[in-house]
A and B are shown apart, each in its own frame.
Chain A
Amino acid sequence: MRSTPYRLLRQLRRLVPLMVGLASVFATFHINDAFALPAFARQTGQNCVSCHAGGQFPELTPYGRLFKLTGYTIGERAIPLSVMGVASYAKVSDTSKSDSPSTDFQKNGSPLFASGSLFIAGKVTNNIGVFSQITYDNYASQTVGPDGEPTGGFSGHSQADNVDIRYADRFIDGNRDLIVGVSFNNNPSISDVWNTAAAWMQYVPVPSPTSHQFIDGTAPYPGFGSGGNLAGITMYAYWNKMLYAELGTYRTANKALSFMSAGIGDADTTKLRGTNNPYWRFALTHEWGPHNIMVGTSGMVAHVYDGGSEISDPDNLGRFKNMGIDSQYQYILDPHTITVQAAYMRQKQEYSANTLAAAAPPYFLADGVTPVAPVNSSDTTNTLRLKLSYIYRAKYGGSVAFFNRTGTTNTLNQTSGFDSSGQITSTDPSETGITSTRVTGSLSGNPATRGWTYEAFWTPVQYARIGVQYTAYSKFNGATDNYDGFGRNARDNNTFFLYVWAVY
């Protein structure tokens, strides 16, 4: 890192009052440890470690998975509200290779209250339960002045986050165990109970990307191209704790279903064509002693209109095809919790006709004469995630994770390049040349991004966690060195991240 350790420590000192304050609050709560629990814990009366492996949210234990699959209905109705808050600090390795560091690295090196969530979650009837989350992002967008330039300020925003409303029933006796259910949800795989599912395999907490853009939470993860805030219905069955199958379909979250995308403006709402956007998930599971393992596969085909485009025009329609395989192994025997996770997803994106028509690449090769290759009509990406974590006594934990995204090269995704003078410029006052993008740009048009994330955390009480994370990139946007055309290297994006996370 370019910053000296001394400078880093000096900046971290500003967090001390916050940490001391939070520690005092936690210490106060600790007196009522067994009672001061979030919504589900109040419902069952159990501690967080019952459902979350080593208390590590959101990863579920075998019991936690059954709690979810049986519709969040174990226990008794309780006040179905919880709140969550995240305070964080992030420091990017190099902020010098930028035209506007204050814009490219917003809130870099500044402690901040990043985000908060309100959960409405709990048992409704003996067969129906809800898990829903509304998230406030304190740094949702940067405010812009009358001149169109960023003012340096931010505006917060609230919107629907995860929603999973489900009905479940279970037929169990000495000879059989069959759980069946229906989930209404707004995010493909949010209904899943394994942490390697696309919607769950993420380091959390994840503060707003506008404030911390290179932390692990913004690095490549397996995911469905459709994105979230949709409206979906899936049906699932889990047989003899061995075979899990789930089938469903998704559509635009509009009209009476708009609560699943509440808070998102029409132009930003993901719009799908019809309801023929199938999602599927199969998994084999086995438990023996303190061990359990899952091997699974999932996929989705989504017909997605270009963002903010007119859906009456079929030329605005693109298609994502995702297929993934994933596996999770857990060893849970007090005081140890070990998890090994692997997830791989292949995604093919077929661009809309209008996207392709508007995407004549403006750049030239370095000779300033030869135009770059024409755009491809589709792209394929492959994303791999591996993670190993260990937690001791549900208090002290650490993990190491590897991420690697590869994919096809496409000039459609090239946001930096040479102009007719063989130059690369990021500003063009005369508007006669071609501008390129610094920091987030791509000179290659290739998505390859690779790196490691290391984390250590402490859970002083079950509803609070303090963690440090370091994300190191060996490749970013297709290159190790000079990925944006302005000399920025992948390792310049390495980021230190500190967070305090509490839920109640």
Chain B
Amino acid sequence: MKVSGFLGIGFVVLGVAACANIERSRNLNDPTVPAKVTAQNVCSNCHGVDGNSISPNFPNLAGQTEPYIVQQLKSFRQHSRSDPAGFEYMWGLSRHLTDEQINGLASYFASQKPIKQPAEAGEAQVSAGKTIFEGGVPEKNIPACHTCHGDRGQGNGQFPRLADQHADYLLKQLTVFQRTDERPEGAMMKVIVHDLTETNMRDVAAFLQGMPPQ
């Protein structure tokens, strides 16, 4: 292939690029890009195309409540949620999303089907977690999780779905609530988890990851 051949291919590629299909866009600063396109071409890289992420570094979004996703994306966009795992990835990605796109992303992921996660913990730990989820820790005045998050952990409005979430992610977020003010939208949780021990948090996270269908 001569130099002209290389350049020819270059021009063809440029021509094809000029006709780029917005249906496969990865542009995060274009309000005309449909939310579904962004979900599948950008969000999917970490959260999975169906909202079920492979790595526990990234939360599962499948079946998450729409109001919660909207609230979180707006918190990232305005930099009010500032836990490292959040801002390192999400501040930039959300910075120019429109409200309409955020609503669309929330709708997309809320409608995805959650995949059951493997129950990695032992029976005793899961049982201890179930006890906290369903009954709280009465001696410390810690209410039961299901009171707000639903009896199956399915979430309720701005109270997020917890069922089938990665235990590692849940544990880290409980720690963020307990030890920092990096999630002001969840200030209520700071009070609730204040007296939870790390073992309590590990137990309840383990239970929620492998939460059995009811």
Mark A residues whose CB is within 8 Å of B: 34, 41, 44-47, 49-50, 62-63, 66-67, 70, 73-77, 125-128, 167, 169-174, 177, 182, 184, 231, 233, 249, 251, 254-257, 275, 287-290, 332-334
- Docked-complex contact A76 and B29, CB < 8 angstroms: yes
- Cβ contact within 8 Å between A256 and B26: no
CB <8 Å contact, B24 and A177: no
Whose C-beta in chain A lies nearest to the C-beta of B13? A167
Q: Is the CB of B172 within 8 A of A34?
A: no
Provide a sorted-by-A list of 19 A–B residue pairs whose CB atoms are within 8 angstroms: A45-B93, A47-B87, A70-B41, A74-B28, A75-B29, A75-B92, A75-B93, A76-B29, A76-B96, A126-B17, A170-B26, A182-B9, A184-B10, A256-B7, A287-B54, A288-B54, A289-B56, A290-B55, A333-B55
B158 within 8 A of A: no
Q: Which of the residues A67, A249, A251, A290 comes within 8 Å of B57, measured between beta carbons?
A: A290
Cβ-closest 3 pairs across A and B: A45-B92, A76-B29, A47-B88
* Residues of B30-77 whose CB lies within 8 A of A: 30, 40-42, 44-46, 49-50, 54-57
Which of A34, A62, A254, A333 makes the CB contact (< 8 A) with B168? A333
CA distance A184 to B87 in the complex (A): 34
Contact A169 B57 (CB under 8 A): no
Say how far A250's CB is from chain B's closest CB, in angstroms.
10
Does B14 belong to the interface (CB within 8 Å)?
yes
| CB pair B92 A182 closer than 8 Å | no
> Closest chain B residue to A37 by CB distance?
B92
Chain A residues near B17 (CB-CB < 8 A): 125-128, 167
Q: Chain B: how many interface residues by the 8 Å CB criterion? A: 46
B78 contacts partner chain A, Cβ-Cβ < 8 Å: no
| Minimal Cβ-Cβ distance residue in B for A276 | B1
Question: Once the chains bind, are A256 and B3 in contact (CB under 8 Å)?
Answer: yes
B22 to chain A: which residues have CB within 8 Å? 126
Nearest-CB residue, chain B, relative to A43? B92
CA distance A177 to B25 in the complex (A): 15
Partner pick for B50 among A49, A75, A174, CB 8 A cutoff: A174
A188 to B43, CA, bound (A): 31
| Cβ–Cβ contact B89 & A127, under 8 A | no
Are A290 and B89 within 8 A (Cβ)? no
- B125, chain A: closest CB distance, angstroms: 18
- The SS class assigned to the B binding surface is helix
Contacts of B26 in A (CB 8 A): 70, 73-75, 126, 170
Chain B residue nearest to A63 (CB atoms) is B45
CB-CB < 8 A to A75: which residues of B? 26-29, 92-93
A228–B41 Cα distance when bound, in Å, is 33
Q: What separation, in Å, do the CA atoms of A107 and B168 have in the docked complex?
A: 49
The CA-CA distance from A45 to B79 in the complex, in Å, is: 12
Are A127 and B16 within 8 A (Cβ)?
A: yes
The answer to whether the Cβ of B146 comes within 8 Å of any Cβ in the partner chain is no
Q: Write the B184-198 contact mask toward A (1 if CB under 8 angstroms, else 0).
A: 000000000000000
Complex Cα–Cα for A446 and B5 (A): 41
| Distance in Å: Cβ of A272 to nearest Cβ of chain B | 12
Q: Report Cα–Cα, A126/B85, bound state, in Å.
A: 27
Q: Is there a chain A Cβ closer than 8 Å to B124's Cβ?
A: no
Residues of A within 8 A of B85 (CB): 334
Chain A contacts of B50 at CB under 8 A?
174
Which residues of B are found within 8 Å of A45, using beta-carbon distances?
Answer: 91-93, 95
Given A44-B93, A45-B95, A334-B172, A125-B3 contact (CB < 8 Å): no
- Is A50 within 8 A of B28, CB to CB? no
Q: Contacts A70-B41, A172-B49 known; list 10 others, CB within 8 Å.
A: A45-B92, A77-B29, A125-B17, A126-B25, A170-B24, A171-B24, A173-B40, A182-B9, A251-B6, A257-B3
Contacts A126-B20, A126-B27 hold; do A233 and B9 have CB atoms under 8 A apart?
A: yes
Tell me the minimal C-beta distance from B203 to chain A in angstroms.
19
Name the residue of chain B whose CB is nearest to the CB of A67: B45
Give the CA-CA distance A92 to B85 in the complex, in Å.
42
Report the bound CA distance from A82 to B18 in whole Å.
Answer: 26
Contact A46 B89 (CB under 8 A): yes
* Alpha-carbon separation in the docked complex, A50 to B55 (Å): 13
Docked Cα-Cα span, A384 to B57, in Å, equals 32
C-alpha gap A182/B29 in the complex (Å): 24
Q: Which residue of A lies closest to B166 (CB)?
A: A289
Is A167 within 8 A of B57, CB to CB?
no
The distance from the CB of B204 to the nearest CB of chain A, in whole angstroms, is: 19
- Quick one: which of B13, B44, B84, B168 has the most chain A CB within 10 A? B13
Contacting B28 at CB < 8 Å: which of A47, A76, A177?
Answer: A76
Evaluate contact between B91 and A333: CB separation under 8 angstroms.
no
Most buried by A among B17, B24, B40, B92: B92
**Given A44-B92, A255-B3, A256-B3; A287-B49 close (CB under 8 Å):** no
In the assembled complex, which residues on chain B have CB atoms less than 8 Å from the CB atom of A174? 49-50
Note all chain A residues with C-beta closer than 8 A to B46: 63
Q: How far is the CA of A45 from the CA of B25 in the complex (A)?
A: 17
